[in-house]
Amino acid sequence: MAGARTRKQAALAAAEGQKEQDIAPAGNGNAHVVSEKDAGVQEETENIFLFVPNLIGYARVVLAIASLYYMPLHPRTCSGLYSVSCLLDALDGMAARRLEQSTRFGAVLDMVTDRCSTTCLLVFLSTAFPRWIIVFQLLISLDLTSHYVHMYATLAMGGSDTSHKNVDKSRSKLLNLYYTNRNVLFAACLFNELFFIALYLLSFSSPLLSPALLQPLNDKAAAAAIHQGAQVNSSILRQLFINPHSAAALEMARVNKMDSFVPWVLVIVSFPVMAIKQFINVVQLVKASKWLAEGDIRDRRAKGLPRKKTQ
């Protein structure tokens, strides 16, 4: 009987000792409960960089870079790669919603890829259509500033947990429709990119080549082989131009490579939507700037600015 009582007392003492270990004094004298991690239970962490939407984003980057490689001389390959990269923009959003893998990193990756891809294409168009270079420069500037200011305003005024696509109707009904209606967003981005791709294809169907850019060709047989619509190989380019990678050589290689009918149809069809998209960029820039200004006014009032000068 005494032995049983002794064993029971020992068990109670052991239980009390375990409680004292679980609740130990912290360095500041306050008691704290030992976390599961301290007890040896390791929490499983997620690798954001390997989320499916982000993997699709990496694929978009690879396709965009590949399209840039083929851009100077291979319009069909470049257009195909560039178009697939743009279409995957819709797929990564669907995957993020379905798999519950929407992340801030993914949103930034998506926006940066869009802005860089469009900018690179517009840079090429500036070289292909030098008369319109100021138009392409303005489009690049508008695209970058509009999205940067909008993203910054969202983070600064709405908080780090606010998505740049959450635009209240009271701020802008147009932006609210643009960002919340997936069909509107997809159509606007699709036709905007289609317009620039069509212009890119038109640069390969120009009937004009400046004679002043050429130097005399001694090989008459090679000269006779060159005609409008012919595929010009690198050996002929080296004979015609001191630098076969110069702007003139690339113009010669591109001239009349494609029929212009389909590109012109695409330009005409997509131009109205492209114009609307640029107007949305202007509205986005103005609204975001006003939002930041409202925040500045509140901050200045909170600091008692402007201070009244005492006479």
**110 included as an active-site residue:** no
Q: Residue 43: in which H helix or E strand, if any?
A: none
pLDDT, tens digit, 9 for 90 and up, residues 262-293: 999 999 999 999 999 999 999 999 999 999 99
Q: Which of 42-46, 157-161, 169-173 has the weakest average pLDDT? A: 42-46
Quick check: 73 and 254 in contact, CB under 8 A? yes
pLDDT, tens digit, 9 for 90 and up, residues 254-264: 766 788 899 99
Count how many residues are written for the chain: 311
Quick check: 192 and 261 in contact, CB under 8 A? no
Q: What is the pLDDT of residue 160?
A: 80
User: Which domains does the chain show, CATH number per domain?
Assistant: 49-159+172-205+260-285 (1.20.120.1760), 211-216+224-254 (no CATH)
Q: Residue 13: in which H helix or E strand, if any?
A: helix 2-22
pLDDT, tens digit, 9 for 90 and up, residues 200-245: 999 888 655 444 445 555 555 555 555 444 555 556 666 667 676 6
Q: Give buried/exposed letters for 173-209 (b at 16+ CB in 10 A, else e).
A: ebbbebbeeeeebeebbbbbbbbbbbbbbbbbbbeee
Of the residues 114, 161, 168, 296, which is catalytic? 114
The set of residues, in sequence order, having a beta carbon less than 8 Å from that of 308 and lying 6+ positions away, is none
pLDDT band at 34 (very low <50, low <70, confident <90, very high): very low
The set of residues, in sequence order, having a beta carbon less than 8 Å from that of 175 and lying 6+ positions away, is 167, 280, 283, 284, 287
pTM of the model: 0.74
